[in-house]
Homo-oligomer: A and B are copies of this chain.
Amino acid sequence: MAQKPSIPKGTRDFGQIEMARRNYIFDTIKSVFRLYGFQQIETPAMENLSTLMGKYGEEGDKLLFRIQNSGEKAALTPEKGLRYDLTVPFARYVVQHREEISFPFKRYQIQPVWRADRPQKGRYREFYQCDVDVIGSDSLLGELELIQIVEEVYCRLGIRVCLHINNRKILAGIAEVIGAPDKMIDITVAIDKLDKIGVEAVNNELKERGLSDKQVAKLQPILNLNGSTADKLAALKTILASSETGLKGVAEMEEIFDLVNSQLSTFNLELDLCLARGLNYYTGAIFEVKALDAQIGSITGGGRYDNLTGIFGLPNVSGVGISFGADRIYDVLTELNLFPAALQSTTQVLFATFGQDELKYALTWAKELRADGISVEVYPEPTKMKKQMAYADAKQIPFVAIVGSNEMETYTVMLKNMVTGEQQPMSLENLKNSKLF
> Residues of A at under 8 Å CB distance from B?
1-8, 11-16, 19-20, 23, 34-48, 51, 62-63, 65-68, 70-71, 74, 78-80, 82, 92-93, 95-97, 100, 102, 104, 106-107, 112, 114, 116, 125-126, 134, 137, 139, 141-142, 144, 148, 259, 262-263, 311-313, 346-347, 350, 359-360, 363-364, 367, 370, 373-378, 380-381, 390-391, 394-395, 397
Contacts and interface: CB of A to CB of B under 8 A. Distances in A.
A40 B65 contact: no
Smallest CB-CB A-B distances: 5 pairs: A11-B44, A16-B39, A139-B380, A70-B116, A102-B394
A376 B96 contact: no
Contacts of A359: 141
Nearest to A70: B116
A15 B380 contact: no
Given A263-B363, A313-B1, A380-B137, A6 B48 contact: yes
A155 to B, nearest CB: 11
B45 A391 contact: no
A5 B102 CA distance: 19
A35 B380 contact: no
24 contacts: A3-B313, A4-B96, A4-B312, A5-B95, A6-B48, A8-B80, A13-B41, A13-B44, A13-B97, A19-B41, A20-B39, A23-B40, A36-B375, A37-B347, A37-B376, A37-B377, A37-B397, A46-B65, A67-B82, A102-B391, A141-B381, A148-B367, A262-B360, A262-B364
Nearest to A35: B370
A37 B311 CA distance: 48
Contact of A8 (B46, B93, B380): B46
